């Protein structure tokens, strides 16, 4: 059962939880950026891979004067609390040359987003789960569906139903 109270703790201390991570890049060899990020994520001793989607090619959100993106979704088991996972993912982004800017949706070497963390709803200044806007983003929903077609997303519903309302918008499997 999903708690309506914000939380950062794993559902059961010491028990691994499943989390879904969105990966995206549109600078400096995007496919290589994603492959390297996947390797770095899985190098963590408290993370193991459950599934990895195909790579997808998508037009950019926001400003259109930037290269297209390469996207994927990685499902993991982790012992890390959600905020610790966020910190770890942001350290990987930094290692791979991510430059944070005030403007949203600009070109980047790497973007790693926690899409889902178990069945939890988390609302913190630095982290919102389920990831905001994921229900409208083909580059998230289609790769997610590829690896978890029976997934139900807290407060959003069945993934298969979300896909019915989310056009491809130029998304192509690589």
**What interhelical angle do 82-95 and 30-42 show, nearest 10?**
140
- Residue 82 in domain: yes
* Contact criterion met (CB below 8 Å) for 60 and 67: yes
Q: Where residue 136 sits, what CATH number does that domain have?
A: 3.30.70.560
Q: Which of 43, 108, 119, 173 is catalytic?
A: 108
Residue 44 in any domain: the answer is yes
Active site residue 65: no
Element (H, E) at 145: helix 138-147
SS (H, E, C) 45-108: CCEEEEEECCCEEECCCCCCCCCCEEEEEEEEEECCCHHHHHHHHHHHHHHCCCCCCCCCCCCC
* Residue 152 resides in a domain: yes
The 10s digit of each residue's pLDDT in 138-171 is 999 999 999 999 999 999 999 999 999 999 999 9
On whether residue 2 sits in a domain, the answer given is no
Q: Which of 38, 40, 98, 137 is catalytic?
A: 98
Q: Which of 84, 83, 112 is nearest to 97 (CA)?
A: 112
* Catalytic residue, candidates 65, 68, 100, 111: 111
Is 167 inside a domain boundary? yes
Q: In terms of Cα–Cα distance, which of 34, 47, 107, 45 is closest to 75?
A: 47
Mean pLDDT, to the nearest integer, of 44-64?
A: 93
Burial of 122: CB neighbours in 10 Å, binned 0-12, 13-18, 19+: buried
- The catalytic position among 40, 43, 100, 113 is 113
Q: Domain of 141?
A: 17-173
Residue 104: pLDDT band (50, 70, 90) is low
Q: Is residue 39 part of a domain?
A: yes
Say if residue 6's pLDDT is above 60.
no
| Residue 40 annotated as catalytic | no
Establish if 1 belongs to a structural domain. no
Buried b / exposed e over 77-96, threshold 16 CB at 10 Å, is ebbbbbbebbebbeebbeeb
pLDDT of residue 65: 80
Task: Assess if residue 79 is contained within a domain.
Answer: yes
pTM of structure: 0.89
What is the separation, in whole angstroms, between the first and last Cα of the chain? 37
Q: What's the domain count of the chain?
A: 1
């Amino acid at each position: 059962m999903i708690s309506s109270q914000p939380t950062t703790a794993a559902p059961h201390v010491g028990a691994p939880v499943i989390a879904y991570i969105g990966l995206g890049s549109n600078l400096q060899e995007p496919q290589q950026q994603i492959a390297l990020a996947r390797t770095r994520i899985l190098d963590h001793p408290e993370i193991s891979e459950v599934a990895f989607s195909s790579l997808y090619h998508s037009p950019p959100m926001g400003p259109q004067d930037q290269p297209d993106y390469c996207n994927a979704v990685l499902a993991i088991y982790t012992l890390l609390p959600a905020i610790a996972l966020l910190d770890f993912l942001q350290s990987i982004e930094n290692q791979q040359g991510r430059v944070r800017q005030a403007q949203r949706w600009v070109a980047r070497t790497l973007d790693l987003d926690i899409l889902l963390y178990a069945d939890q709803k988390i609302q913190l200044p630095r982290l919102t789960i389920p990831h905001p806007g994921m229900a409208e983003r083909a580059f998230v929903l289609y790769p997610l569906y590829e690896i978890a077609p029976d997934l139900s997303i807290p407060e959003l519903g069945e993934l298969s139903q979300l896909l019915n309302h989310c056009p491809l918008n130029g998304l192509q499997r690589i």
